[in-house]
């Protein structure tokens, strides 16, 4: 496990106090040579939906990193604290190490964390500007963010994280499954099955009170949902005025599976198995964590 803090390089991205796309590409190339297009295209894909604009939605958030030095230092301190002795904790909890680079990064834009394989190297990118936008200035949030992304890397390293899906229905179902595994990994590492880093302003209590409604609505939505209109994953979408409800449902699904399988078996399940097991999960009226 390698921990990389790019803070010393971040200020070079700004020109006259504003985020500069040209400098950002240079910054990316220094960290991940030949991969700047991957991140720029990821941002452009959101812009091309017509729902978001660079100057209105992205630039103000990116500029926070230049104008709010105190908040930057808060994020860096939390990052340093949470990543201390992290590998030893994972080995003690799961009996296995994770081969990964964890990079504190500027410009993720579409999320606070991204687990990805680059040049056959498992990598976690943490978007400092998104962490600041979400005001995740507490240990609970940083633990949740890093542990969650490590859950994706664990599935990538010891199971199957990405599978070819045949339609939008399967794509969203697989997202529920993989996000649920990451939530489960996060909760096991924290040793609290009720831990959700998304919990604020009564979020968890509301989810618990509407569990049956959430799981049935999600399955009913699968026939019409796409990546663009889904309402369960991301702070920019809402299900009945609550964001990230899919992470709650995914965790519940994996805890349900843990009654039948070990984690190392769950992360190897194929698409057809997940479909069958989701049907069991939805139809089980007594399902509780």
> What is the average pLDDT across 176-193?
96
| 14 and 130 fall within a common domain | yes
Give pLDDT, residue 108. 85
| 10 and 102 fall within a common domain | yes
Does the pLDDT at position 256 exceed 90? yes
β-strand partners of 242: 239
| 131 and 15 fall within a common domain | yes
- The alpha carbon of 167 is separated from its chain's Cα centroid by a whole number of angstroms, namely 22
Percent share of the chain, pLDDT over 90: 79
What's the mean pLDDT when you consider all of the chain?
93
| 8 and 122 fall within a common domain | yes
| 212 and 92 fall within a common domain | no
Give pLDDT, residue 287. 54
> What is the average pLDDT across 171-191?
96
Of 263, 231, 259, give the one whose Cα is nearest residue 247: 231
Residue 142 belongs to some domain of the structure: no
| 126 and 245 fall within a common domain | no
Residue 150 belongs to some domain of the structure: no
| 174 and 218 fall within a common domain | yes
Report the distance separating Cα 140 and Cα 136, nearest Å: 8
Give pLDDT, residue 125. 95
Residue 145 belongs to some domain of the structure: no
Does the pLDDT at position 289 exceed 80? no
Does the pLDDT at position 156 exceed 80? yes
The residue from 90, 119, 135 where one domain ends is 135
Give pLDDT, residue 120. 87
Is the distance from CB of 126 to CB of 79 less than 8 angstroms? yes
**pTM score, whole prediction:** 0.89
The model's pLDDT over 108-117, given as tens digits with 9 standing for 90+, comes to 877 899 988 8
Residue 273 belongs to some domain of the structure: yes
Q: Do strands 14-15 and 18-19 pair parallel, antiparallel, or not at all (unpaired)? A: antiparallel
Residue 177 belongs to some domain of the structure: yes
| 104 and 225 fall within a common domain | no
| 126 and 184 fall within a common domain | no
3-state SS, residue 32: coil
The model's pLDDT over 38-83, given as tens digits with 9 standing for 90+, comes to 988 888 888 888 888 899 999 999 999 999 999 999 999 999 999 9
Residue 144 belongs to some domain of the structure: no
> What is the average pLDDT across 254-266?
97
Does the pLDDT at position 285 exceed 70? no
Residue 62 belongs to some domain of the structure: yes
Number of structural domains, the chain?
Answer: 2
| 113 and 198 fall within a common domain | no
Task: Write the burial class of residue 42 (CB in 10 Å: 0-12 exposed, 13-18 middle, 19+ buried).
Answer: middle
Give pLDDT, residue 49. 83
Beta strands across the sheet bearing 2-5: 2-5, 101-105, 121-127, 113-118
Residue 208's domain comprises 168-283
| 126 and 174 fall within a common domain | no
| 111 and 194 fall within a common domain | no
Residue 27 belongs to some domain of the structure: yes
């Amino acid at each position: 496990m390698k921990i990389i803090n790019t803070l010393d390089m971040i200020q070079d991205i700004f020109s006259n106090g504003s985020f500069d796309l040209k400098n950002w590409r240079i910054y990316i190339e220094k960290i991940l040579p030949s991969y700047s297009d991957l991140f720029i295209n990821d941002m452009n894909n959101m812009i091309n939906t017509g729902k978001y604009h660079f100057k209105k939605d992205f630039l103000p958030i990116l500029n926070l990193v230049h104008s709010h030095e105190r908040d930057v230092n808060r994020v860096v301190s939390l990052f340093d604290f949470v990543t201390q002795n992290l590998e030893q904790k994972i080995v003690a909890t799961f009996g296995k190490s994770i081969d990964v680079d964890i990079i504190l990064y500027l410009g993720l834009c579409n999320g606070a964390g991204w687990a990805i394989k680059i040049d056959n190297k498992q990598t976690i990118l943490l978007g400092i500007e998104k962490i600041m936008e979400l005001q995740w200035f507490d240990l609970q949030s940083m633990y949740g963010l890093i542990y969650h992304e490590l859950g994706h890397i664990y599935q990538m390293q010891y199971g199957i994280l990405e599978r070819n899906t045949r339609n939008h229905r399967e794509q969203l179902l697989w997202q529920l499954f993989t996000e649920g595994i990451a939530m489960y990994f996060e909760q096991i590492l924290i040793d609290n099955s009720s831990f959700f880093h998304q919990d604020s302003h009564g979020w968890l209590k509301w989810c618990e009170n509407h569990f049956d409604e959430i799981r049935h609505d999600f399955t009913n939505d699968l026939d019409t949902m796409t990546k663009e209109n889904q309402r369960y994953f991301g702070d920019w979408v809402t299900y009945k005025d609550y964001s990230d409800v899919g992470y709650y449902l995914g965790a519940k699904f994996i805890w349900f599976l843990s009654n039948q399988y070990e984690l190392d078996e769950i992360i190897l399940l194929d698409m057809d198995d997940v479909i069958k097991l989701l049907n069991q999960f939805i139809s089980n009226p007594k399902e509780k964590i």
